[in-house]
């Protein structure tokens, strides 16, 4: 005979089942509606000939893009010693870029302080939307990706390689990155290049070697590239595929000739969306995290937290570099102006003088690399 307690437990169990099932259905329905809205928005952009906007929409909805939006913006002092913290003003500038807007206070005709062209430089020469106001805004918002001066691309590229290395080391992996090796190695340039594990027999260099990460414990060689589909107003998938082909043609055959080695390009969109091959690299890292967590109780990462945390960190470093590259190109602003609580030319700082923008001065990269 069923006791009242047992009956109550049974009822609660059934209720929780129906509640969970209901919530799941609600979540599913919400996802379908959001996707339908997205498709309608995208179709509108296609019909209007705004292919830069279409590319941005595709990049921003790709796996990994925009993970920084969920991070908590922090004050300048608290970011010290934490490479994965995002300052509030950088967060805001990166968020504006994410939705296709230039830095606060900048317009399409603002002059770039690095190349001395208008921010919408190249507007009217690309894509079916050439000449439209939207195209000009897209060019202005992505100017740092097309600017020939200032070294932004190298800084962003190296930051991505560094995150991937930290990610592998966090689960006990051993790897070498070309940009890190170059900084610490001693000897003349020729000797350093020869001793660098990223140097292939032909003297070409990949960006990172992950020892034992590929299938069958093969060493995985990767080369990082950022494809800005938006600035060239081409399709996101096409831009990623073209960049992956360039890298694969350049390195895959040679790496295959090295014992126990495999090659994959790591191509992401300028908003951080992972390409097909980058997702394969990512899956290998997450798979390794699962294996390590299963065999070593001291390993605190679960595969889920590992993926979430590192996806956000990767997104944060891309957002941070994007924000710095955007801010160094527009007239000096104070942090207050970037945060929207001061007006250009008023109060402290401003274009005319003042303390300037400390973060930009500190982080401004050197010449070359674009």
Residues lying near Zn ion in the complex (CB under 5 A) are found at 112, 114-115, 147
Nearer to Zn ion, 147 or 167 (CB): 147
Nearest to 232 by CA among 51, 367, 85, 361: 51
- Of 117 and 261, the one with the shorter C-beta distance to Zn ion is 117
Residue number, 79 or 153, with CB nearest to Zn ion: 153
Q: Token pair of 81, please? A: 């010693």
For the chain, the helix, strand and coil percentages under 3-state DSSP, each to the nearest 5: 55, 10, 35
Q: 197: closest CA among 210, 187, 184, 215?
A: 210
Nearer to Zn ion, 151 or 359 (CB): 151
The tokens for 358 are 């400390």
Q: How far is the CB of 93 from Zn ion (least distance, A)?
A: 16
CB of 117 to Zn ion, least distance (A): 6
Which CB atom, from 244 or from 322, has the smaller least distance to Zn ion?
322
| Least distance from Zn ion to the Cβ atom of residue 188, Å | 35
Q: How far is the CB of 118 from Zn ion (least distance, A)?
A: 9
Q: How far is the CB of 180 from Zn ion (least distance, A)?
A: 28
Q: Which residues pair with 274 in a beta bridge?
A: 268
The total number of residues shown for the chain amounts to 370
Least separation in angstroms between residue 139's CB and Zn ion is 11
Question: Comparing C-alpha atoms, which of 105, 140, 106, 147 is closest to residue 123?
Answer: 140
> 360 and 326 in contact (C-beta within 8 Å)?
no
Identify the CA nearest to 162 among candidates 151, 138, 178: 178
Of 124 and 197, CB closest to Zn ion: 124
């Amino acid at each position: 005979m069923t006791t009242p307690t047992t009956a109550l437990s049974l009822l609660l169990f059934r209720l929780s089942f129906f509640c969970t099932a209901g919530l799941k259905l609600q979540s599913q329905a919400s996802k379908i509606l959001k996707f339908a809205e997205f498709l309608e928005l995208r179709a509108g952009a296609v019909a209007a000939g705004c292919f830069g906007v279409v590319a941005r929409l595709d990049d921003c909805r790709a796996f990994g893009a925009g993970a920084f939006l969920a991070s908590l913006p922090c004050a300048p002092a608290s970011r010290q010693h934490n490479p994965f913290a995002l300052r509030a003003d950088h967060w805001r500038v990166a968020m504006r870029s994410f939705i296709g807007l230039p830095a606060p206070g900048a317009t399409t005709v603002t002059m770039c302080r690095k190349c001395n062209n208008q921010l919408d430089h190249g507007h009217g020469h690309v894509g079916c939307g050439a000449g439209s106001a939207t195209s000009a805004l897209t060019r202005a918002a992505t100017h740092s990706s097309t600017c020939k001066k200032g070294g932004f691309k190298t800084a962003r590229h190296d930051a991505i390689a560094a995150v991937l290395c930290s990610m592998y080391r966090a689960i006990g992996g051993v790897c070498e990155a070309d940009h890190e090796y170059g900084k610490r190695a001693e000897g003349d340039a020729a000797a350093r290049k020869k001793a660098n594990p990223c140097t292939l027999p032909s003297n070409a260099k990949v960006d990172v070697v992950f020892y034992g990460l590929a299938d069958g414990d093969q060493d995985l060689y990767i080369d990082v590239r950022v494809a800005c589909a938006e600035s060239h107003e081409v399709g996101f998938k096409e831009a990623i595929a073209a960049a992956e082909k360039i890298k694969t043609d350049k390195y895959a055959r040679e790496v295959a000739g090295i014992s126990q080695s495999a090659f994959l390009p790591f191509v992401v969109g300028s908003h951080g969306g992972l390409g097909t091959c980058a997702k394969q690299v990512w899956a290998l890292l997450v798979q390794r995290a699962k294996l390590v967590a299963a065999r070593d109780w001291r390993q605190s990462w679960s595969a889920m937290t590992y993926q979430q945390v590192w996806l956000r960190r990767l997104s944060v470093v891309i957002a941070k570099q994007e924000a710095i590259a955007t801010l160094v190109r527009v007239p000096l602003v104070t942090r207050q102006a970037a945060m929207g609580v001061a007006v250009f030319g008023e109060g402290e700082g401003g274009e005319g003088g003042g303390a300037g923008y400390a973060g930009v001065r500190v982080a401004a990269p050197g010449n070359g690399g674009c």
